Amino acid sequence: MKTVATGRWIGTDSQPQCKSQYDKMFVFPYRFYLPLEQTEKPDYQIMTAQSGSSPELKFRESEDIFHLITENMDDLIMVLDTEGLPVYKSPSYRRVLGDLSDESAVSLDHVHPDDRARIKSIFQKVIASGQGQRTEYRYLFRSGEIRHMESQSSVIRDENGRIRNILIVARDISERKRAEDEFRLLNQELESRIRARTEQIRHQRDVLVELAHLDKSDFRHALTKILGAAATALNVERVSFWRLAGNKSRIECEQLFLNSRGEPDPEAAGIILLKQDFPDYFAAILQQQTLIADDARTHPATRAFTPSYLTPYAIFSMLDVAVWFRGNIVGILCHEQVGDARLWTPEEVDFASSIATMLALALEASSRAQAETERAVILENSEIGISLHKDRRMMWANRKMEELFGFDRNERVGLTAESQFATPESFDEVGKLAYPMLAQGLVFRREYEMLRKDGTKFWCQISGKAIDPDDLSKGSIWTSEDISERIRQEREIRNALEKERQLNELKNRFVSMTSHEFRTPLSTILSSTELLQHYHDRLPAEERGEILNSIQTAVKRMTAMLDEILIIGKADAGRMEFNPQPMELSTFCNRLLEEFRRAAPGNIRFAYSPPLCREVCMDEKLLRHILSNLLSNAIKYSPHGGTVSFGAACNADAVVFKICDQGIGIPEEDLPHLFESFHRAGNVGNISGTGLGLSIVKRSVERHGGDIEIESRLGLNTTFLVTIPLQQT
């Protein structure tokens, strides 16, 4: 290794070493060296490690190379002493820093005041530690211009290892800093936009969540909320909903929300736009379903709106979305940007589509609410009771059910209907018969006697049908209809028909009776009058008297029959006379019995128990009808004779008459009809009679407020008990 003792040298990229025997030279393991600043004009020398070369020649070559490098390199090279004063500056200082390169002031003077303390501190740390550092700082020009620098410091030691100088290699990074600042600003702007977009998306999501929970049953109220939320979330002035009408030949504004006013514009409602005036718009919205017009005045589908709509309202951009309802486009959601143009982002278009979906949900909800309201009105005002049952327990009932059964429907929720049936058996029958039918999808319908809360009964027709025949746990719908009036009318009709049948039967009986009972006395009268007419002068006086008596008897018999018919007619018409008067009962009974004794056949015996009470208050005429008919029947229907018992017993409240015979008796099947007019028992044979006597007896007893009982054994006897309350005198 050869050296040239012409100065002090430093290296650019390595730790230099000082050779003590020369004291003027630093040796670097690199290809060139830089001379330190001298008090005189500095010399630049280069030493290489190549043997066999001339030192002077190599030095000149190295010096040329060094000048070439320092003149063309952009890095700044400076050597400082341990006090921080510059001892060397590379030529690049003037080219890079201009006038600052001529300053001989302290090296920190051209550093930005805000960075000086930090740089000084770093310099001291390098001196103290012997370790170079990389740092950034700013240069301040007299013009006020600021440049950013980046430097790497290294220490230069003497042959004893002491720090003699500090080598600083610096680079102007102003452009990089500017690019970094621009990138940072761009990144900040991008982050700001991302945050804004994220916040907008989050806000839109929150809006959609809030709208999802909105009560949409009232469409007009929900429409205001939805349009207002859309206007706020998209920061658009005008948001409106237009309904398609007239077979999609026109749209009508249902509501226009103005963001600046925070409420709908009442003047906009009802505005109509015709398809024939704006065919391009109608075609676009019906085909594309989403219309994005950043410049609505030039967009093919919306430019026709310019003179009449866009310009007057300063509308520049439009975003329209079709609103679907049950498979059809029913309206248009329109967003209108006022003032400046607006480029609708994909996120905003998606949000607008979501708002259109919210409108569709509102239409569905309001439609269902309206249907439910109408259904509720129908159910609540129905004249038929309607109820929902699950597991035979009532879940819901309408107002009519309350009226029918007299209960509060809320009290009955969760309870079975067993207490509403007149009998537990009826409730069990419904369970056995109805639910197998419901499981087959059939309707169960039957009539039952039901029970109200107050205990009164009524007839009800119940009908049930399963909501889902495959799953009866979902419940069944039941209807209850009060059919008491219908049942009553049916009974009245049946009674009327029965009465008509009875009347026809009575008519037949009457015709049969009159033809038979009247014919005999009439025949007697006719034959007797003919005898008198033809043989009057030849008949003895006694025989003529007998003939006249037979005529009188026949007339009396006919008169009696007519009287009975008249009595029945008055009774049926409710005009039977009733005149109770005080009477001597014992005397009346004695005389009546005596009359029958004289007229009775010889084979009839009488057993008489006279009443112990003397005076009673009764209608004597009706009492005679009662007792005479019963005594007459007892004698008449005892063709073989026997004992006829007649008696009366008095107590504090009533008189009980008892008449018993030993005649033919009454068949059991005739007993229920015994008191019907013209009815006669089936075993009377040829015994004459009208069938009116017992009917008159029944009516006369009832007129007194009394009662009559029969006990009969066929072929043995018949007993009548007549109870007549004592009337007040």
Q: Which residues contact 421 (CB under 8 A, 6 or more apart)?
A: 427, 430, 448, 449, 450, 451
- Which helix or strand (DSSP H or E) is residue 490 part of? helix 484-513
Please name the residues in contact with 393: beta carbons below 8 A apart, sequence gap of 6 or more. 414, 415, 416
Q: Kindly report the backbone phi and psi dihedral angles of residue 601, in degrees, each rounded to the nearest multiple of 5, phi listed first.
A: -65, 165
pLDDT at 355: 92
The position carrying tokens 């369970």 is 431
pLDDT > 60? residue 141: yes
Pairing relationship of beta strands 146-157 and 134-140 according to DSSP bridges: antiparallel
140 — pLDDT class (breaks 50, 70, 90): confident
Q: Of 133-147, 249-263, 509-523, 665-679, where does the model show the most confidence?
A: 249-263
pLDDT band at 15 (very low <50, low <70, confident <90, very high): very low
Beta bridge partners of 479: 386, 463
| Single-letter amino acid, residue 65 | I
Tens of pLDDT, residue by residue over 238-257, are 999 999 998 899 999 999 99
Q: Work out the average pLDDT over 465-469.
A: 93
Could you tell me the two tokens for 123? Answer: 């310099």
Tell me, what's the pLDDT at 423?
A: 92
What span, in angstroms and rounded, lies between the C-alpha atoms of 221 and 414?
36
Answer whether 670's CB lies under 8 Å from 682's CB.
yes
DSSP conformational letter for 221: H
Show the tokens assigned to 18: 């000082």
Phi-psi region of 411 (alpha: psi -120 to 50; beta: other; left: phi over 0): alpha
More confident of the two residues 245 and 143:
245
Distance CA 210, CA 616 (A): 95
Mode of pairing for the β-strands spanning 642-650 and 76-81 = unpaired
CA 202 from chain centre, in angstroms, equals 32
The Cα 396–Cα 414 span in angstroms is: 9
Structure-model confidence comparison of residues 570 and 603, the more confident one: 603
* Residue 650 exposed, middle or buried by CB count within 10 Å (0-12, 13-18, 19+): middle
Question: Is residue 727 helix, strand or coil?
Answer: coil
Residue 414 zone, left/alpha/beta (φ > 0; ψ -120 to 50; rest): left
> Once rounded to an integer, what is the mean pLDDT over residues 49-54?
46
- In 3D space, the residue among 669, 648, 663, 674 whose CA is nearest the CA of residue 719 turns out to be 663
Q: What is the pLDDT of residue 556?
A: 75
Q: What is the pLDDT of residues 551-574, one digit of tens each?
A: 887 777 777 777 777 777 776 667
The answer on pLDDT for 463 being more than 70 is yes
Q: For 708-725, what is the mean pLDDT?
A: 92
Taking residues 507-529, report their average pLDDT. Answer: 69
Residue found by looking up tokens 């006919």 in the block = 558
Structure tokens at 541: 């006086």
Percent of the chain with pLDDT over 70: 86
The number of angstroms, rounded, from the C-alpha of 444 to the middle of its chain's C-alpha atoms is: 27
Instruction: Specify the pLDDT at position 32.
Output: 38
The model's pLDDT over 604-657, given as tens digits with 9 standing for 90+, comes to 999 999 888 878 999 998 998 899 889 989 998 898 889 999 999 988 889 999
* The pLDDT of residue 278 is above 90: yes
Handedness of CA 511, 515, 517, 518 (dihedral sign): positive
Residue 615's pLDDT is 85
Asked whether 634 and 663 are in contact (CB, 8 A), the reply is: yes
* Range in 494-498, 610-614, 619-623, 705-709 with the lowest mean pLDDT: 610-614
Percentage with pLDDT > 90 across the chain: 40
8-12, 280-284, 373-377: range with lowest mean pLDDT? 8-12
Spatial CB neighbours of 286, under 8 Å, sequence gap ≥ 6: 248, 322, 329
> Sheet containing 457-466: which strands, arranged edge to edge?
393-397, 385-390, 476-482, 457-466, 444-451
Asked if residue 46 has pLDDT above 60, the reply is no
Calculate the average pLDDT of the chain: 83
**pLDDT attached to residue 657:** 95
Residue 62's SS3 state is helix
- Distance (Å, whole) CA 90 – CA 86: 11
Q: 513: Cβ–Cβ under 8 A, 6 or more apart, which residues? A: 678, 690, 691
Of residues 423 and 499, the one with the higher pLDDT is 423
Cβ partners under 8 Å of residue 204, min gap 6 = 233, 234, 347, 351, 354
**63-81, pLDDT tens digit by residue?**
677 677 767 777 888 888 8
- SS3 state at 476: strand
- The better pLDDT of the pair 187, 559 is held by 187
Q: Is 701 exposed, middle or buried (0-12, 13-18, 19+ CB in 10 A)?
A: buried
The per-residue pLDDT for range 398-450, each reduced to its tens digit, is: 888 888 898 888 888 888 888 889 999 999 999 999 999 999 999 999 999 99
For the residues of 383-449, what is the DSSP string, one character each? SSEEEEEETTEEEEE-HHHHHHH-S-HHHHTT-BSGGGBSSHHHHHHHHHHHHHHHTTTPPEEEEEE
pLDDT band at 47 (very low <50, low <70, confident <90, very high): very low
Are the CB atoms for 9 and 33 separated by under 8 Å? yes
CB-based burial label for 163 (10 Å; 0-12, 13-18, 19+): middle
With a threshold of 0.75, does the pTM exceed it?
A: no
> Whose CA is closest to 631, among 586, 576, 693, 580?
693
- The gap from C-alpha 387 to its chain's centroid, in whole angstroms, comes to 16
pLDDT at 181: 86
Domains defined along the chain, listed by start = 9-172 (3.30.450.20), 214-375 (3.30.450.40), 382-482 (3.30.450.20), 576-725 (3.30.565.10)
Indicate the helix (H) or strand (E) that contains 212. Answer: helix 174-212
Q: How many angstroms separate the Cα of 163 from the Cα of each of 11, 130, 294, 308?
A: 15, 7, 71, 87
Q: Is the pLDDT of residue 715 over 80?
A: yes
Residue pLDDT, tens place only, 225-239: 999 999 999 999 999
